[in-house]
Amino acid sequence: MLENRTIVVTGGAQGIGRALCERILVHGGRPVALDVDEAMLADAAASFGARGATFRCDVADEAEVEAAFARVLAEVGDIHGLINNAGILRPALTHKMDMADWNAVMGINLTGTFLCTRAMTKHLVERSKAGDPAPGSIVNISAIAGKRGAFGQINYAAAKAGMLGCTMTVAREYARYNIRANSVCFGLVETRATERVRSDPNLQKFLASIPLGRAAKPEDVVEPVLFLLSDGAGYVTGQHLNVDGGSAMGF
């Protein structure tokens, strides 16, 4: 499905990002993990072997993003797909949310998406102008929270809603170059980042609101993302695919 395609995954050394990279390998692609956790990057690099690559990058830092994409192009080659997956949670009720937690979440989840997308579209437009009929595509990892809000997570919900706007804008701006952009909206996924949420005493009540009755595991959610990068989704752009166990029905 992704044979010989290089796919950059932000937050790719852990959680959903790591699961995405591992499945890219299964599908014959070359994953490139960008992450800030150097220990996890080292572990990922050992796991990927020569078929993948890892680079340290803070996606909220403009200079680091530009440098990371330059290194990928110089050391790995053309990039065929980008998955904007990096994200953090800093929960608090709106009246208790401080600016540090607001800025941290917006910086990584939304500004990081913009910075990586900007770097990616520059590269893809150059390839398109050079004659590549299908230079590549972008998938943004958003969330159901971006569509319906999330109790105690105004920063996260706002950032994920912003990612949906980014998706549609990029889809409109770059369709003439045959560059596609789509979003995947997750519900609750079992990762290190959601441990606090999943330890909430009201978790069972929340799970009861999910028609499939459980949180997703990382391996449950990766294939829809990779489908959107594949030729099978060649006529799909500007869309937001819910992968949430049915929890968003009615919204």
Tokens of 117: 């997308």
User: How far apart (Å, rounded) are the C-alpha atoms in residues 25 and 233?
Assistant: 19
At 115, which amino acid appears?
A: L
96: phi then psi, degrees, rounded to nearest 5: -110, 0
Pairing relation of β-strands 81-84 and 53-56?
unpaired
Tell me the HSE value of 62 on the side-chain side, using a 13 A CA sphere: 1
User: How far apart (Å, rounded) are the C-alpha atoms in residues 91 and 163?
Assistant: 18
Tell me the catalytic residues: 156
Contacts with 67 (C-beta within 8 Å, 6 or more apart), sequence order: 57
User: How far apart (Å, rounded) are the C-alpha atoms in residues 57 and 108?
Assistant: 11
